[in-house]
Amino acid sequence: MAAPKNYLGSGELILLCALLGALGEIGRGQIHYSVPEESDKGSVVGNISKDLGLESQELTKHGVRIVSRGRTQLFALNARSGSLVTAGRIDREELCAQRAPCLVNINILVEDRVQLYGVEIEVTDINDNNPKFQVESLEVKINEIAAPGTCYPLPEAVDPDVGSNALQSYQLSPSPHFSLDVQTGDDGTVRPELVLQRALDREEEAAHHLVLMASDGGEPRRSSTVHVRVTVLDTNDNAPVFAQPVYRVKVPENVPPGTLLLTVSASDPDEGTNGDVAYKFWKISEKQSPLFHLNEHTGEISAAKSLDYEECAFYDMEIQAEDGGALKDRAKVLISVEDVNDNRPEVTVTSLFSPVLENTPPGTVIAFLNVHDRDSGKNGQVVCQTRDDLPFQLEKSINNYYRLVTWKHLDREETSLYNITVMASDLGTPSLSTEIHIALHVADTNDNPPSFPQTAYSTYIPENNPRGASIFSVTAHDPDSGNNAQVTYSLSQDSIMGAPLSSYVSINSDTGVLYALRSFDYEQIQDLQLLVTASDSGDPPLSSNVSLSLFILDQNDNAPEILYPMLPTDGSTGVELAPRSAEPGYLVTKVVAVDRDSGQNAWLSYRLLKASEPGLFAVGLHTGEVRTARALLDRDALKQSLVVAVQDHGQPPLSATVTLTVAVADSFPDVLTDLGSIKTPADSDDSDLTLYLVVAVAVVSCIFLAFVIVLLALRLWRWHKSSLLQASGSRLAGLPASSFVGIEGVQAFLQTYSHEVSLTSDSRKSHVIFPQPNYADTLISQESCEKNDSILTSIKDEGASVQQAPPNTDWRFSQAQRPGTSGSQNGDETGTWPNNQFDTEMLQAMILASASEAADGSSTLGGGAGTMGLSARYGPQFTLQHVPDYRQNVYVPGSNATLTNAAAKRDARAPAGGNGNKKKSGKKEKK
């Protein structure tokens, strides 16, 4: 038996070293492990947690997982031990066939680090396969004339193991006629040949039985045998010869089954059966055999099944041609499968980080994608892209991995869900492409404050509203979501009239509805300025403000208030004087009233409700001026009683009444003289009054006159006794106002016309003349008169005749100076009312101008401070300290003018109407 030849040449050794160096360069920079094939499931391959710098218990925490693609996962991670283990049985021969070394590359993703690591695992071979012959028995036909030394090929055994575990040697059973020769080819294959050692004699022995054994070099050594039967033939001196030793052909992988690939041909010059050549596969693997069909008569090789370049790109086989005389020849057939672009790229989302916050900075990794194309060359080169209008782009990572990253800021309020389309296209012709869709949700951050539709709001509420009434509702919108869009409302802290704002109004923090906590009074508060804050529930919260103006609408809840004439506190009635010589239209007095309301609710109208002498007096509708309607006659009664009603224009209207007593006489002494003969004008209802009533009136009048004379005498005596009179010699003690209080309006007469009071019973001989600038034209309250005893009169030498001072015309008012709600106009009875609240509020400043004139003493209406321009004719009761400040709601009907100082002075220079410049009666002129 010949010894096997199993060695490597020097060239092959150099090639092996270069290959190992190249593999070392490839593995540099990545994790390398090795594991023997056929290891049990769960066998430890390597400590991956240590090599990644992680603790074994942190694999799950850091999201470490295998992301390599493939039909079957060969390896797994043991989260408890942190090791890389086998996921099942690994057959190296099935995985890598004859390729050595057998390397498996996987990728491990650490999601916490957003990083991929490459791991290379070498599956080492073990001697788990026996060398195997394709046939169990073989018949070798040898012509008996064969010369010793002739070699006959024997079947080769196939061992899928590699290295030392692969087929190493052949052994032949001992035989005197045959020996075994092993040839090593250029590709390293070992081929056994049967060598004829001694000539055969068919007649001596027609058949020889041999056993061929093939052995590998593993531990333990494995082997297999084939029975070889040598049949000695008759002479056949020509063997078949192939036209070429090697046949090569390239076919596309998409050839249909039955397609002729190539034809092999061998020629034999012999005749008969010795020249008939039959073809058969001599050497072909078990996986390749079903793919091809060989016609044994024609030598045509065709595709039996569909070829797949991705399964196998190259097929190597041998064809044997044998004639009828058992002479043979062999030829090699090499079939190369060319790739066609028949596989679309495959895109796998390895990891997706969704949802992503909208404030994520550009460059943030959103997903890892794995791209694979089973084709090769340009057909397997894949290009990925996304749509240009999306804020995402693809970046190349290691191997066939792409990273999907953001390239600009996201805005959830603009787009909350992105449907990202990733298209992968290969470079084949024609190009094939694949699209996948990734749904990416954008998580909200609190980046938008609540916003109001308007920059400011205004609303109205009538006064006297019920507590808890709904006032207004504000709504703010927040484009965020969840808690970031949950809006709560609040009012800013403020105070109104010393009270916190929260005691007036409140707001529902959830709905934004404002409620009144108390009933508003327009006369106290006309408007409220609120600041509403809307805050979301984000972290940190965002807020915005809006101003709200709450205007209180006036209601007619205040009746008109009579300012003049004021009702005396002692129960008497004020008296006004009307001279008998007064012409029609003579201004007797004026009723002054105000209304605390505003607008139409404060528009006042006056009317004469009742009069003792109908038709004698008339009241201005809008001015309240009481004027004579006709000339006074001698038959007119001395005392006239008028009831004036003041009514506003609210709904429903409110009113007030005042009773005026008008004395018809030319002077105060005439009043005193005629008091005894005053007869009350008889109405139609009093025509049957008896004489007893007339007598009673006369008696009362006499008693009153006597009381006045006695009172004047006592006061004069006190003046002479006072120390003030002794010191000055020209001054008299002041007469307190209380001394002039009498029945039926005497007090008003004495206080109003004090410059005509007679000091003696003979008023024609002696009169006390009070300086008009100090008293006659100044309104003094009754209280101040009672407290001040200083006299304001000047007396000439006793017994001398004193000429009565001419009447001062300043006590009269022009039409523009009359007090009341229409003192700045001429009393147009047909004046129009304002038609809106705006006009009303414009004219409410009139009373302010009048009050200012009185305060600085510049007014010519009476010349006294604090009187609002009213002369002493209207009595000392009407002073500024008794007038409430209703400047905000006084309106002059029919006119848009306001009270001004210039107008007052202009009117003051005009001559007063009536009889102001006329001389007194003949009785007054006599001394």
The string of pLDDT tens digits covering residues 384-442 is 988 878 899 999 888 889 999 999 889 888 888 999 999 999 998 889 999 999 999 99
Written in H, E and C, the secondary structure of 495-546 is: EECCEEHHHCEEECCCCCEEEECCCCCCCCCCEEEEEEEEECCCCCCCEEEE
**Between the ranges 52-56, 72-76, 671-675, where is the mean pLDDT highest?**
72-76
Residue 22 has pLDDT above 70, yes or no: no
In terms of phi and psi (left: phi > 0; alpha: psi -120 to 50; beta: otherwise), the region of 258 is: left
More confident residue, 188 or 547: 547
Which two tokens mark 785? Answer: 């008169």
pLDDT band at residue 300 under the 50/70/90 scheme: very high
- Whole-number pLDDT of residue 670: 63
* 854 vs 868: CA distance, rounded Å: 5
* 439 vs 51: CA distance, rounded Å: 35
pLDDT tens for 665-716 read: 876 666 655 554 444 444 444 445 567 788 888 889 899 899 899 999 988 8
> Nearest CA to 534 among 483, 487, 482, 502?
487
Q: Any residues with CB less than 8 A from the CB of 398 and at least 6 apart, and which?
A: 107, 116, 118
Dihedral sign, Cα of residue 779, residue 783, residue 786, residue 788: negative
Mean per-residue pLDDT for 159-177? 85
- Whole-number pLDDT of residue 191: 86
Q: Any residues with CB less than 8 A from the CB of 460 and at least 6 apart, and which?
A: 550, 551, 552, 553
Q: Report percent pLDDT > 70 for the chain.
A: 71
Count other C-beta atoms under 10 Å from residue 175's C-beta.
18
Burial degree of 195 (CB within 10 A; 0-12, 13-18, 19+)? middle
Residue 474 has pLDDT above 70, yes or no: yes
Residue 847 has pLDDT above 50, yes or no: no
Q: Any residues with CB less than 8 A from the CB of 70 and at least 6 apart, and which?
A: none
Phi, psi of 813 (to 5 degrees): -105, 145
Residue 472 has pLDDT above 60, yes or no: yes
Residue 605 has pLDDT above 80, yes or no: yes
**Between the ranges 46-50, 726-730, 754-758, where is the mean pLDDT highest?**
46-50
- Whole-number pLDDT of residue 835: 42
**Between the ranges 247-261, 827-841, 894-908, where is the mean pLDDT highest?**
247-261
**Between the ranges 182-186, 266-270, 643-647, where is the mean pLDDT highest?**
643-647
DSSP 3-state of 426: strand
Average pLDDT of the chain to the nearest whole number: 74
Cα torsion at 449, 452, 454, 459 (round to 10°)?
-140
Query: Cis peptide leading into 430, omega within 30 of 0?
Result: yes
Cα torsion at 132, 134, 135, 141 (round to 10°)?
-110
pLDDT band at residue 508 under the 50/70/90 scheme: very high
> Nearest CA to 792 among 774, 773, 804?
774
- Whole-number pLDDT of residue 786: 36
**Strand ranges (E), 27-71:** 31-36, 44-46, 64-66
Residue 505 has pLDDT above 90, yes or no: yes
> Nearest CA to 653 among 603, 695, 704, 708?
603
Predicted model pTM: 0.48
Which two tokens mark 837? Answer: 């609240």
pLDDT tens for 199-211 read: 888 778 889 999 9
Count other C-beta atoms under 10 Å from residue 641's C-beta.
16
Q: Any residues with CB less than 8 A from the CB of 693 and at least 6 apart, and which?
A: none
Count other C-beta atoms under 10 Å from residue 396's C-beta.
11
* 575 vs 265: CA distance, rounded Å: 158
DSSP state of 179: E
> Nearest CA to 756 among 740, 742, 745, 770?
770
Residue 804 has pLDDT above 80, yes or no: no
DSSP 3-state of 828: coil
Residue 802 has pLDDT above 70, yes or no: no
> Nearest CA to 19 among 30, 4, 8, 31?
8
Mean per-residue pLDDT for 854-876? 35
User: Locate tokens 């603009």: which residue?
Assistant: 414
841, containing H or E segment:
helix 837-843
Residue 881 has pLDDT above 70, yes or no: no
* 848 vs 867: CA distance, rounded Å: 13
* 563 vs 844: CA distance, rounded Å: 17
- Whole-number pLDDT of residue 633: 86
Q: Lowest mean pLDDT: which of 123-127, 337-341, 486-490, 645-649?
A: 123-127
Mean per-residue pLDDT for 799-812? 36
Which two tokens mark 649? Answer: 């224009």
Per-residue exposure over 328-358, b if at least 16 CB sit within 10 Å of its own CB, e if not? bbbbbbebebebebbbbbbbeebbeeeebeb
More confident residue, 215 or 677: 215
Q: Lowest mean pLDDT: which of 5-14, 450-459, 550-559, 571-580?
A: 5-14
More confident residue, 54 or 367: 367
- Whole-number pLDDT of residue 104: 84
* 408 vs 86: CA distance, rounded Å: 43
Q: Within the chain, how many helices (H) and strands (E) appear?
A: 12, 51
Q: Any residues with CB less than 8 A from the CB of 312 and at least 6 apart, and which?
A: 287, 288, 337
* 427 vs 335: CA distance, rounded Å: 26
* 606 vs 644: CA distance, rounded Å: 7
Phi, psi of 528 (to 5 degrees): -125, 135
CA distances from 328 to 146, 229, 332, 374 (A): 13, 16, 14, 42
Mean per-residue pLDDT for 251-280? 89
- Whole-number pLDDT of residue 696: 85
Phi, psi of 721 (to 5 degrees): -90, -10
**Strand ranges (E), 61-145:** 64-66, 75-78, 83-86, 102-110, 115-124, 132-133, 137-143
